């Protein structure tokens, strides 16, 4: 059965998704080796990952990188649980599923919070944020999502950062679908902690999240955590002591991540990655529009990460058939995640370029023809 499955695959499908995503052949290749978690080569690999991630925000000597086994949500919960405590009061900015997830984590671990929610296709008004801050003098933290994967919306992180700095409030950022492609530099943007993962814009594989946290914040976080396994302070102290993970590390995932970071640097870092993703996004948006598809977001708040399209109001359009036809042609997309409309999403990140985008558009055209759908 397994042999038949792999024979049928022949080659990997191209993932037009926000992660997991298409990875390079070299990133896949390093996972063919076994790695000893206490071997000097693997220890150096870990050091390189931590150093490289801090350098991406220009945070040398100011920030620490604490990696955490698991998905991005593990990293988010570790950040919230370890760097806040029972005396904290948190403002959560919500315009999608991942803002809601931060609120749910706060509820689970009994962190005092309030929230400011707008629709999934809207960004937050900084004047309203300022009003909330002024009305809550005991506010200690703001939690914000950089790029909300639910819709692909680009939230005004710089404006939120400027406001947090002005008011003396600690800013934590969920940068899962942003880190490594959208700008984040401590010399320009104020924040105390940011969480991201290996398998999105950095183009590694799933299995590792990480938190970049200001040293001064991390050093006073001892005994805050609600969880043994998600305790950032303990994880950091162990790594500083002997460069070891407290518990079994995902060795193959980390090897792939190290390779992916090398490729990220070779491409020109965050600026280079942003340039390619922006080109990919432009092709998808323009060509889908020319076929009659309607984009959810205006260009000014559309991040070049994942694009949400409204499902066409056509009697022959059925998302499952649309999805399966594209899959048969070698492309995987994502269903929509909105509550306000029926949608689907096309990602423009991963180890993909303009040629792949044009091939994807050609697959959409053929699918529409097969389903007898004309949108304009």
CATH number of domain containing 272: 3.90.1150.10
Computed from CA positions of residues 94, 97, 102, 105, in that sequence, does the dihedral angle turn out positive or negative?
positive
- As given in the structure block, the two tokens for residue 314 are 């056509």
Distance (Å, whole) CA 49 – CA 276: 23
pLDDT at position 10 is: 55
Q: Could you tell me if 95 and 235 lie in one domain?
A: yes
Q: Could you tell me if 67 and 35 lie in one domain?
A: yes
Q: What is the mean pLDDT of residues 201-213?
A: 98
Domain boundary among 266, 290, 320: 266
pLDDT of 178 above 80: yes
Range of the domain at 280: 2-16+268-370
CATH number of domain containing 252: 3.40.640.10
pTM: 0.95
What percent of the chain has pLDDT above 90? 94
Residue 376 within a domain: no
Q: Could you tell me if 261 and 274 lie in one domain?
A: no
pLDDT bin (cut points 50, 70, 90) of residue 210 is very high
Residue 8 within a domain: yes
Phi, psi (deg, nearest 5) at residue 76: -60, -45
Domain boundary among 248, 266, 284: 266
Q: Could you tell me if 96 and 182 lie in one domain?
A: yes
pLDDT at position 4 is: 52
Q: Could you tell me if 75 and 12 lie in one domain?
A: no
pLDDT at position 97 is: 95
Residue 284 within a domain: yes
Q: Which of 314, 59, 75, 54 is nearest to 200 (CA)?
A: 75
pLDDT of 9 above 60: no
Q: What is the mean pLDDT of residues 149-167?
A: 97
Q: Could you tell me if 236 and 323 lie in one domain?
A: no
pLDDT at position 274 is: 98
- Give the sheet arrangement for strand 306-310, strand by strand: 306-310, 343-347, 334-335
Q: What is the mean pLDDT of residues 11-26?
A: 93
pLDDT at position 1 is: 45
Which H, E and C letters describe the chain, residue by residue?
A: CHHHHHHHHCCCCEECCCCCCCCCHHHHHHHHCCCCCCCHHHHHHHHHHHHHHHHHCCCCCCEEEEEEECCHHHHHHHHHHHHCCCCCEEEEEECCHHHHHHHHHHHHCCCEEEEEECCCCCCCCHHHHHHHHHHCCCCCEEEEECEECCCCEECCHHHHHHHHHHHCCEEEEECCCCECCECCCCCCCCCCEEEEECCCCCCCCCCEEEEEEEHHHHCCCCCCCCCCCCCHHHHHHHHHHHCCCCCCCCHHHHHHHHHHHHHHHHCCHHHHHHHHHHHHHHHHHHHHHHCCCCECCCHHHECCCEEEEECCCCCCCCHHHHHHHHHHCCEECEECCCCCCCEEEEECCCCCCHHHHHHHHHHHHHHHHHCCCCCC
Q: Could you tell me if 36 and 183 lie in one domain?
A: yes
Q: What is the mean pLDDT of residues 294-315?
A: 96
pLDDT bin (cut points 50, 70, 90) of residue 5 is very low
pLDDT of 11 above 90: no
Q: Could you tell me if 186 and 66 lie in one domain?
A: yes
Q: Could you tell me if 198 and 116 lie in one domain?
A: yes
pLDDT at position 363 is: 98
pLDDT of 28 above 70: yes
Residue 145 within a domain: yes
What percent of the chain has pLDDT above 70? 97
Q: Could you tell me if 81 and 46 lie in one domain?
A: yes
pLDDT of 8 above 70: no
Q: Could you tell me if 224 and 287 lie in one domain?
A: no
If one counts the domains in the chain, the total is 2
Q: Could you tell me if 43 and 136 lie in one domain?
A: yes
Residue 197 within a domain: yes
Q: Which of 127, 172, 173 is nearest to 154 (CA)?
A: 173
């Amino acid at each position: 059965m397994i042999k038949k499955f792999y024979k049928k695959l022949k080659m990997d499908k191209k993932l037009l998704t926000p992660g997991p995503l298409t990875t390079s052949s070299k990133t896949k290749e390093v996972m063919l080796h076994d790695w000893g978690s206490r071997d000097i080569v693997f220890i150096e690999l870990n050091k390189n990952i931590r150093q490289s991630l801090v350098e991406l925000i220009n945070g040398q000597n100011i920030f620490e990188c604490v990696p955490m086994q698991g998905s991005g949500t593990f990293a988010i919960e570790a950040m919230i649980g370890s760097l806040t405590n029972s005396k904290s009061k948190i403002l959560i900015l919500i315009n999608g599923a991942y803002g809601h997830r931060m609120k749910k984590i706060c509820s689970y671990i009994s962190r005092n919070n309030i929230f400011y929610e707008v629709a999934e296709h809207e960004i937050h008004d900084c004047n309203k944020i300022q009003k909330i801050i002024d009305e809550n003098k005991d506010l200690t933290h703001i939690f914000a999502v950089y790029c909300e994967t639910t819709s692909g919306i680009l939230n005004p992180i710089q404006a939120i950062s400027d406001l947090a700095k002005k008011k003396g409030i600690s800013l934590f950022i969920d940068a899962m679908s942003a880190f490594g492609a959208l700008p984040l530099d401590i010399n320009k943007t104020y924040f105390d902690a940011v969480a991201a993962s290996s398998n999105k814009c950095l183009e590694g594989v799933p299995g590792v999240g990480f938190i970049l946290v200001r040293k001064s914040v991390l050093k006073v976080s001892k005994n805050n955590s609600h969880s043994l396994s998600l305790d950032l302070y303990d994880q950091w102290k162990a790594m500083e002591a002997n460069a070891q993970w407290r518990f079994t590390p995902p060795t193959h995932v980390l090897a792939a991540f190290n390779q992916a970071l090398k490729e990220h640097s070779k491409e020109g870092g965050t600026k280079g990655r942003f340039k390619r993703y922006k080109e990919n996004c432009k092709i998808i948006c323009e060509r889908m529009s020319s076929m009659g598809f309607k984009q959810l977001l205006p260009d000014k708040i559309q991040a070049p990460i994942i694009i949400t399209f409204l499902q066409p109001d056509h009697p022959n359009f059925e998302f499952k058939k649309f999805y399966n036809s594209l899959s048969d042609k070698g492309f995987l997309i994502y269903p929509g995640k909105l509550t306000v409309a029926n949608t689907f999403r096309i990602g423009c990140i991963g180890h993909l370029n303009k040629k792949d985008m044009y091939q994807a558009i050609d697959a959409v055209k053929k699918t529409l023809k097969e389903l007898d759908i004309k949108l304009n």
